[in-house]
Every structure is written in C-alpha cells, then in structure tokens.
C-alpha cells in the first residue's frame, strides 16, 4: 500500500513483557495484521512507535507469521515482543492452539501458558570467545573478564554492582558490527543479571531482553551447573525472567500485561 492510497486501520497494543507489575518490564508494540504491509511501512510504524521493538503478526495456516522491527531496523530475534504477541493472541476471543506457533526469521518459535506466565521456546545461540575490540572497551568504560561474539557482543563481569553502575558511551557502542551489547555477571539474589545496549538499531538500553537468554542462559547454566535459572535485568524499569535449558533450546518465561489499546491509521485520510 502506498502512502497515497486510502488509509486503513491496524489494531495497536502496548504490552509490558517480563513485568513485575505496572511500569516494569519491557514495553512492546503489537500489531495484528490481516494482510502484510510493505516493509518500509512496517519500519515507519516501528519508528513512529519508538519502542524497543514492534511485533507484527498475521495468521498463516495453523500458525502465525511474526516479524519484529526496532525503530531503525528489522531484527532476527526478539523475545519480549514474541511474549507480547502471544499475550495478545491468548487474550483475543476464540479458540487458540497451545502452544502457539510463530514462524520467524529465527525459525519456529512456540509460546504456551504456564500458570500466570507465558513460556517461549527459543534456539540456543553459541558464544564464540573473542578479544574485546577498542570500541567495545571505550563504549563500556570497563574491561570485562571475558568477551564473546554471537548475535550480540557479550561481556562478562565479576559482580552485579559493576554491571549496574556501567554508564556506557553509546556513540562508541554504535560503531560495533553486531546487533547490540550484553553485559552480564553473577547475581546477588538471582543466578545472573544483565543489561543490554543497542544504539546501532535505535535502542539506547533495552529494558528487558528475552532473546539475550538464548546466549546467556547456556553460558550461565554450564558455569553454574544448573538447568533452571532465575534472571534479573538491571535496567531502570527492571524485569524478571525464568530460563529452562534443554538440548539445543532455551525456554524463557515471564509475565505480561496489556498497558494500552489503540488504532493506527496508515495512508491518507
């Protein structure tokens, strides 16, 4: 649809994913579609919404095609917006398969209800040890104990307070080649903590990052010799995640709540 064509309306929701209560967790935009819009329109909607990610989904047989857009780019994997999309599907009238099946750029993802949480099944992403580049060190203003490459740069520190007190140079981090930067350490009252910075895709700091657990849960699971992990993200909003490791998959669960409902008008009136 071009911008000169008559407008159409799209339902729009903001859902707080991995929330501990009001005004916590990671807000995701969610747009259920009857048919797909051009990619440039999806990107403009995500930029206009200006949340970490906006999820767009449309039914495809007995599953849903799901795509995620940050304000400046489409991304390959987004956990919190997947949880948010599933929350909207489960809250919609009608019968729904369980688990829900989402067809994505990262393959088939499933989400099912587990009590008051939603649990999604994500692929495990291996970490490749790597020397920390200068832009990473300059951006963090601290030298990690270890650095890895995966979908993001991953930096491991020795304690929670170091991660909490980082004040990154986002312009330096923006020069890096991967999606973003994850910083992580053992937690004081959880198994591990993290923060996530993605200035290269328009996200200075992500409030709670589900996809990060595809990389971090296997690392900490091996290090701590555990298959069940409790996780806390140390952003200003904060959020809690629960991870279960099995085979080459990571099950990540958390709570979600709808914050806002509305309508997007696309095209000319």
pLDDT tens-digit readout, 45-58 = 999 999 989 999 99
Q: Say yes or no to pLDDT of 3 above 50.
A: no
Q: What percent of the chain has pLDDT over 90?
A: 85
Q: Say yes or no to pLDDT of 258 above 80.
A: yes
For 219, half-sphere exposure in the C-beta direction (CA atoms, 13 angstrom radius) is 27
Going by DSSP bridges, is the β-strand pair 239-246/181-186 parallel, antiparallel, or unpaired? unpaired
> Which pLDDT band, with edges at 50, 70 and 90, does 2 fall under?
very low
Active site residue 205: no
d(C-alpha 186, C-alpha 70), whole Å: 29
Mean pLDDT value across residues 253-269: 90
Going by DSSP bridges, is the β-strand pair 192-198/228-233 parallel, antiparallel, or unpaired? parallel
Structural domains of the chain sorted by starting position, each given as residue range(s) with its CATH number in brackets: 8-115+255-266 (3.10.310.10), 128-253 (3.10.310.10)
Q: What percent of the chain has pLDDT over 70?
A: 97
Task: Please list the residues that pair with 69 across neighbouring strands.
Answer: 54, 74
Q: Say yes or no to pLDDT of 235 above 60.
A: yes
Residue 269, Cβ density class (10 Å: 0-12 exposed, 13-18 middle, ≥19 buried): exposed
> Which pLDDT band, with edges at 50, 70 and 90, does 20 fall under?
confident
Q: Which of 63-72, 132-141, 197-206 has the lowest mean pLDDT?
A: 197-206
Contact 189, 223 (CB under 8 A): no
Contact 197, 170 (CB under 8 A): yes
**pTM reported for the whole predicted model:** 0.84
DSSP calls for 70-112: -SSSEES--HHHHHHHHHHHHHSSS---SSEEEEETTEEEEEE
Mean pLDDT value across residues 207-236: 96
Query: Would you state the pLDDT for residue 201?
Result: 86
| Peptide bond connecting 199 to the previous residue in cis, omega within 30 degrees of 0 | no
Query: Would you state the pLDDT for residue 57?
Result: 98
Q: Say yes or no to pLDDT of 39 above 90.
A: yes
Q: Where are the alpha helices (DSSP H) in the chain?
A: 39-49, 79-91, 134-140, 160-165, 170-174, 213-224
Among candidate residues 3, 35, 53, 268, the one labeled active-site is 53
Q: How far apart are the first and last CA of the chain?
A: 14
């Amino acid at each position: 649809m071009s911008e000169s064509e008559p407008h159409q309306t799209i339902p729009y929701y903001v859902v707080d994913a991995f929330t501990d209560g009001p005004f916590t967790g990671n807000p995701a935009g969610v747009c259920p579609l009857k048919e797909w819009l051009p990619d440039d329109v999806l990107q403009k909607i995500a930029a206009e919404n200006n949340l970490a990610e906006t999820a767009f989904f449309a039914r495809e047989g007995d599953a849903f095609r799901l795509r995620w857009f940050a304000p400046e780019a489409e991304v390959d994997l987004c956990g919190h917006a997947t949880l948010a999309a599933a929350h909207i599907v489960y809250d919609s009238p009608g019968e729904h398969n369980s688990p829900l099946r989402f067809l994505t750029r990262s393959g088939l993802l499933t989400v099912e209800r587990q009590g008051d949480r939603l649990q999604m099944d994500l692929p495990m992403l291996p970490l490749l040890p790597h020397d920390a580049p200068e832009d990473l060190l300059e951006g963090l203003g601290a030298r990690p104990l270890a650095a890895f490459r995966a979908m993001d740069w991953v930096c491991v520190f020795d304690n929670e307070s170091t991660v909490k007190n980082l004040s990154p140079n986002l312009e330096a981090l923006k020069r890096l080649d991967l999606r973003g930067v994850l910083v992580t350490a053992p937690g004081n009252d959880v198994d591990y903590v993290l923060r996530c910075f993605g200035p290269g895709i328009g996200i200075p700091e992500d409030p709670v990052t589900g996809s990060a657990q595809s990389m971090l849960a296997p690392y900490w699971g091996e290090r701590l010799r555990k298959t069940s992990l409790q996780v806390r993200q140390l952003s200003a909003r904060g959020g809690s995640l629960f991870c279960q490791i099995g085979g080459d998959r990571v099950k990540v669960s958390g709570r979600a709540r709808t914050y806002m409902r509305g309508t997007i008008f696309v095209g000319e009136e």
